[in-house]
Structure 1
């Protein structure tokens, strides 16, 4: 029988490696915390698998704080994560796309050490047409009381993330995460109900063959983005590029991680500050991209260097392989 490694076993192995390297023994807190995310992901996956058979498709009948129509599965996924993570003593606060304010817990800073920021079901409007959706999460360490309040702990730079990841619900359900020591992919094995290691130390190719962007908005982009895409289309980087755009952020990012190329969500005249949310979309994906050898920027600066001003702050988002992103930096996109 072939040996398998579950995500829990993988984390334990990394903790043992840390003990050997630093002499500092891991407490197992992070493993317990991540188990809350994987449990919620399996609950969501089960609902998605039966979406056409039970009443979970369609609109919930309310808008979230973003002014977007909530889907029934948005609400379910949000409740699943809040429940599974809220029970963990190590969690000080939970920040969700679906909630206007953070959910906080009156836990001592010595116990409640972590803040989890998440988009419970990104791309949920695609559920009705059976297109991939995903969950995105970011883990921050709470600042010591003498260094900042809980609110200041939530609004930390992206480079201070201690972990980030996403779950992609598709033909298979995949968990990708990093703790700053490489990127690892796990696939849910329905036979045993566990996420099993399937991609070790994932690396984004230095150059790809695809660009991914909603070209219907091109007329309202800054001119530099249109010039950049024209350069890709006409072989300016030494190869011809094909367009691939799913319209589901996690799916588009996952393809870019595996195949290389570039994914763009430029500012528009209607949304000059960008559309994607910094804390629970751009930051975690940027952390993963950098750990895999890629680059993530606003078009002019590193995503992870932005100081957040609010939990639902938006940003332009450009992410991809080194070669494509170097070319983007050379283009005056503003």
Structure 2
């Protein structure tokens, strides 16, 4: 069964150059909305369909769920792995040609599942170059993903045993500042005095800054949305798994995201990830 986990990760890696190459002609909005009520771009729909077709064909995968579709797809024999994807995290950045990515989670449990059931998580970052960060068995590796002359994808490790730097440098906080709760605004003011702002509007790009330089990323609770904006199954859990595997910490304001109960597939959550001291300091304010 563990071979299925490897195949899932490699399937997403092989698809990355194709996804990136297909973005330029798919920047228009569609008339459809995803399961969270957000207007879909043509690129969202296309990337979702491409990944669904390839991941559901893997032996050992029994469920597939995507941020872009309402229902969980049942595939293969029961008792296999459940795979979740955010096919294009930050797709609103496509119009302005800024970074975006793909987020992957592999759960050894039926969905919805707690993050503690993850056996692997990864994200692809479509930046100036295409990279992939994979967390598995307590280790994090960063790869460069390149298309070969034969038209296939090659995944080459560039950083192994990735850990967050001890001396944090950057922070990135989502949501409109007037909509922040008082307790998060107090925390943010402290952090602003210590770290440099790095926020690009795509979670993957912002989290990758934290993983590279140390610091904290948050899409916090809001006055208008106490439950947060990001989805636990597709974004919160996989990113928490990567960051915690790299020696950092995650929180929903009360506990590790990996310990949070999962009640529904499209459940939302506040997300706070980064260096352990910064997350502990946040939780002490809440």
- TM-score normalised by the shorter chain: which range applies? over 0.9
Residues 301 and 59 (structure 1), Cα distance of their counterparts in 2 relative to 1, 3 Å cut: same
1:260 aligns with 2:217: no
Instruction: Answer whether contact 2:30 2:40 (CA < 8 A) is retained.
Output: yes
Larger radius of gyration: 1
> What TM-score, normalized to structure 2?
0.94
> What TM-score, normalized to structure 1?
0.81
Instruction: Answer whether contact 2:14 2:154 (CA < 8 A) is retained.
Output: no
Greater mean alpha carbon deviation, residues 124-133 or residues 36-45: 36-45
Residues 270 and 32 (structure 1), Cα distance of their counterparts in 2 relative to 1, 3 Å cut: same
What do residues 265-295 of structure 1 show as CA deviations (whole Å, max 9, x unaligned)?
Answer: 1111211111100001000000000000111
* Higher strand proportion: 2
Q: Within 5 A, what are the aligned runs for 1:74-85?
A: 74-85=44-55
What do residues 12-53 of structure 1 show as CA deviations (whole Å, max 9, x unaligned)?
Answer: xxxxxxxxxxxxxx76333333232222223202213xx1xx
Q: Which runs of 5+ in 2 are unaligned?
A: none
Instruction: Answer whether contact 2:60 2:77 (CA < 8 A) is retained.
Output: no
Q: Distance in 2 between matches of 1:285 and 1:45?
A: 21
Q: Within 5 A, what are the aligned runs for 1:40-189?
A: 40-48=15-23, 51=24, 55-105=25-75, 107-109=76-78, 113-142=80-109, 153-189=110-146
Across the aligned residues of Structure 1 and Structure 2, the Cα RMSD in angstroms comes to 1.6
Q: Which runs of 5+ in 1 are unaligned?
A: 1-25, 143-152, 235-239
What do residues 287-332 of structure 1 show as CA deviations (whole Å, max 9, x unaligned)?
Answer: 0000001111011211100110000000001111122222212223
Q: Distance in 2 between matches of 1:310 and 1:91?
A: 20
Give, in angstroms, the shift of residue 220 of structure 1. Answer: 2.3
SS of 1:183 mapped into structure 2: strand
Give 4+ residue runs of structure 1 displaced > 4 Å after superposition. Answer: none
Q: Which residue number in structure 2 is paired with residue 217 of structure 1?
A: 176
SS of 2:22 mapped into structure 1: helix
- Within the candidate set 26, 39, 42, 2:14 is matched to 39
Q: Which residue number in structure 2 is paired with residue 28 of structure 1?
A: 3
SS of 1:100 mapped into structure 2: coil
Q: Which residue number in structure 2 is paired with residue 295 of structure 1?
A: 249
Give, in angstroms, the shift of residue 57 of structure 1. Answer: 1.4
